[in-house]
Amino acid sequence: MNPITTSQALEELVLHIGVLPYFRNRITGFSIEEIVPEPILWDLADGPWIWKGTLVRNWRVAYGKFFNRKAGYIAIDLLPDFINLRRSQYDLTANPIEAHILDVLREHESLLSRELKDLSGFSRPRNTRRGLSPIERMIESRASKGARDLGFDTHIMRLQMAGYVVIADFEYKTDRHGDTYGWGVARYTTPEALYGDDICDVQGRSAEESYLRFHSRIKAALPHTDDRLIHRLLNL
């Protein structure tokens, strides 16, 4: 792949391949980390870490922790198949804490990471069990074992991997001059809230058919890639 130096070039590449992980993975050269020149890779003024918000707001690509627990992009035309495939692989009813987090997010449509964590009960002071729901008691019990932040981060990552949550934008702190700084805080939402209910419409395709659409798109762009590596990338 040719080096990527602008947000427009990155967006076009994602649209062409269909998906693009941010970080190195088993497919050599198939990541933003490997195709963006080192001088701008982590540039917080004009680099791929800042481009994320711009690209998401263009509504042509989706962003989240989609691949092997790490971040990446999916072209919007493939997002319905991603949702169809991943939700078919994931039993939300078997994960009550994650179902609870998703219910909170759906109720508010979008929330910053800290807001979602607080409203889901992960930041509740310990030993305040009066009036807690069974799910909140479960969260409190796990938090008392020292897994409070790790627990939330793991759950929200799984919801993104499963196609239930995407990142709607990134919001930054501002200094006294009104200039933004820092890494940006993720604003979470659901695909349905961000793109509309039609984003889940796959025209009756099965999960297997959705998988094949992904596979063929990647294979067309990267014909020499081992099918087993594509399989590992696409599945939970």
**What element of type H or E holds 170?**
strand 166-174
Sign of CA dihedral 105, 60, 14, 40: negative
How far apart are the C-alpha atoms of 100 and 92, rounded to whole Å?
Answer: 10
Q: What is the pTM of this model?
A: 0.88
How far apart are the C-alpha atoms of 82 and 205, rounded to whole Å?
Answer: 12
The secondary structure of 55-114 as a DSSP string is: HHHTTSEEEEEEETTEEEEEEGGGHHHHHHHHHHH--GGG-HHHHHHHHHHHHHSEEEHH
Cα dihedral 104, 149, 161, 231 in deg (nearest 10): -170
User: Sheet containing 61-67: which strands, arranged edge to edge?
Assistant: 19-21, 70-75, 61-67
Six-digit token string for 198: 């039609």
How far apart are the C-alpha atoms of 102 and 119, rounded to whole Å?
Answer: 11
CB-CB contact of 65 with 161 (8 Å): yes
How far apart are the C-alpha atoms of 34 and 30, rounded to whole Å?
Answer: 7
How far apart are the C-alpha atoms of 187 and 113, rounded to whole Å?
Answer: 6
Cα separation values, 199 from 9, 164, 194, 232, Å: 25, 12, 9, 24
> How far from chain centre, in Å, is Cα 85?
15
Grouping H, G, I as helix, E, B as strand and the rest as coil, residue 229 is: helix
Domain boundaries, the chain: 1-90+203-236
Within the chain, residue ranges assigned H as helices are 7-17, 32-35, 38-41, 48-57, 79-89, 96-108, 113-119, 134-142, 148-161, 191-195, 207-221, 227-234
Q: pLDDT at position 149, please?
A: 47
Q: pLDDT tens per residue, the chain (236 residues)?
A: 788 999 999 999 999 999 999 999 999 999 999 999 999 998 888 999 999 999 999 999 999 999 999 999 999 999 999 999 999 999 999 999 999 999 999 999 999 999 999 999 887 655 555 556 666 666 666 555 544 445 899 999 999 999 999 999 998 877 777 677 667 899 999 999 999 999 999 999 999 999 999 999 999 999 999 999 999 999 98
